[in-house]
Amino acid sequence: MDYVYGPGRNHLFVPGPVNIPEQVLRAMNRNNEDYRSPAVPALTKTLLEDVQKIFKTSSGTPFLIPTTGTGAWESALTNTLSPGDRIVSFLIGQFSLLWIDQQQRLNFNVDVVESEWGQGANLEILASKIAADKEHTIKAICIVHNETATGVTNNLATVRKILDHYQHPALFLVDGVSSICALDFRMDEWGIDVALTGSQKALSLPTGMGIVCASPKALEASKTAKSVRVFFDWNDYLKFYKLGTYWPYTPSIQLLYGLKAALDLIFEEGLDNVIARHARLGQATRLAVEAWGLKNCTQKEEWYSDTVTAVVVPSYIDSSEIVRRAWKRYNLSLGLGLNKVAGKVFRIGHLGHLNELQLLGCLAGVEMVLKDVGYPVKLGSGVAAASAYLQNSTPFIPSRI
């Protein structure tokens, strides 16, 4: 039988869903309750205020939608745009590809800027398109901040600089599914109009909540946008926000309490410290990959992701076999290569509620798997490189009472 439960715990190192902290599990271990009672609106009000902090916005309006990142994508698009609107969207990997597919199926006029997988968004092409668009036919720029298929992070500040330089009014829509709460993200400072994330990534929650944050400009655009929307309509939420009851339909009560516990953990550590921790774990993983003699799928250091590393394997190895063997023999879950990089890369997720020893255990497991599939790795080489770096870098250590 191929599917068996291995001894011990599963070591989950895919780039989402991620491990759920015990505090969050305990917070969600509760019965259902009436969401129209005074307790749930009071909790929701606190959550909306706290969510603004992780987006680093004081003016954005958050929406907690019972959905996935895909639903959050649709919410961002349909509330701000009309069918036929021209949008510029960057294809750099599987998840940007899926968002583009959604944009096309929603009948937008999608101007696709494609890069080789492993490269970031081509912002020089964006600049040329914006410069040429004197009539402002481009209504939105859509970009995935962190492409989990290839481990590429895009520079959002540069996108904003391009728009500002040419005084272009296009909306700036960002998929922050695998970046928000793990990578540097500044909604107000970078002039992002709609940002979104999913509960199962850096927030370390179960799948099931799409979190969208809209700028005043995006809310204004929603008043005239003609895309059909029902379940994802921001206006339904806003009506209930004014009433103080917050929910136009039934929320996931357990996820709301889990979100409160997850945010409490993040704020206790300090959001900037959380971001710094991810940077350390990302660098440690990249050093391990280098010590193994393997290459990062991401082609330039400026694009390196601190939440996921896509590792390129030699041509004689099928990366899918690495993932399969890791799970079956060592109870270690790694990410598959997707689409154009299927069979060519495997992915190590290093995001969420995660520490150094957990990561080192994962790296040791990867070394054993590499040995199993015939790659001449020196056991301990990656672990040594990563641990030496982690030992000599300076983590934030929260006080424990």
- What does the pLDDT look like over 203-221, one tens digit per residue? 999 999 999 999 999 999 9
CA–CA gap between residue 232 and residue 361 (Å, rounded): 41
Tell me the pLDDT band of 4, cut-offs 50, 70 and 90. Answer: low
Whether residue 127 is predicted with pLDDT greater than 50 in this model: the reply is yes
Question: How far apart are alpha carbons 363 and 185 in whole angstroms?
Answer: 28
Query: Quick one: average pLDDT of 380-396?
Result: 91
Dist CA 200 CA 306 (whole Å): 17
Q: Give 52's Cβ-side CA count (13 Å radius).
A: 12
pLDDT exceeds 60 at position 390: yes
Over residues 103-119, the pLDDT tens digits come to 999 999 999 999 999 99
Q: How high is the mean pLDDT of the chain?
A: 96
Mean local confidence (pLDDT), 369-374: 98
Q: Is the dihedral of CA 60, 65, 70, 71 positive or negative?
A: negative
pLDDT at 289: 98
Task: Assess whether pLDDT exceeds 80 at residue 70.
Answer: yes
401 versus 65: the higher-pLDDT residue is 65
Q: Given the structure tokens 């296009």, which residue do they identify?
A: 170
pLDDT at site 262: 98
pTM of the model: 0.96
Tell me what pLDDT residue 323 has: 98
User: Taking 70 as the threshold, does the pLDDT of residue 400 lie above it?
Assistant: no
**Domains contained in the chain, CATH given:** 11-19+270-392 (3.90.1150.10), 22-267 (3.40.640.10)
- Say yes or no to pLDDT of 12 above 50: yes
Structure tokens at 240: 């209930």
Banded pLDDT at 135 (limits 50, 70, 90): very high
pLDDT tens per residue, range 314-359? 999 999 999 999 999 999 999 999 999 999 999 999 999 999 999 9
The rounded radius of gyration (Å) of the Cα atoms in the chain is 21
Q: What is the DSSP string of 319-352?
A: HHHHHHHHHHHH-EEEBPP-GGGTTTEEEEE--S
- Residue pair 211/72 in contact (Cβ under 8 Å)? The answer is yes
Q: Kindly tell me if the per-residue pLDDT of 261 is higher than 80.
A: yes
Would you state the pLDDT for residue 3?
57
Q: What is the mean pLDDT of residues 289-309?
A: 98
- Mean pLDDT of the region 17-21: 97
For residue range 164-173, list pLDDT tens digits in order: 999 999 999 9
**Residues 231-269: b if buried by 16+ CB within 10 A, e if exposed:** ebbbebbbeebeeeebbbeebbbbbbbbbbbbbebbeeb
Ramachandran quadrant class, 278 (left: phi over 0; alpha: psi -120 to 50; beta: rest): alpha
- Taking residue 133's Cβ as centre, other Cβ atoms within 10 Å add up to 16
pLDDT at residue 401 is higher than 90: no
Calculate mean pLDDT across residues 13-21: 97
pLDDT tens figures, 274-295: 999 999 999 999 999 999 999 9
pLDDT tier at 397, thresholds 50, 70, 90: low
Question: What pairing do the DSSP bridges indicate for beta strands 345-349 and 308-312?
Answer: antiparallel
Residue 1 has pLDDT above 50, yes or no: no
36 is in an annotated binding site: no
Q: With the CA atoms of 259, 261, 263 and 269 taken in that order, what torsion angle do they form, in degrees rounded to the nearest 10?
A: -160
With vertex at residue 319, the alpha carbon angle to CA 145 and CA 289, rounded to the nearest 5 degrees, is 65
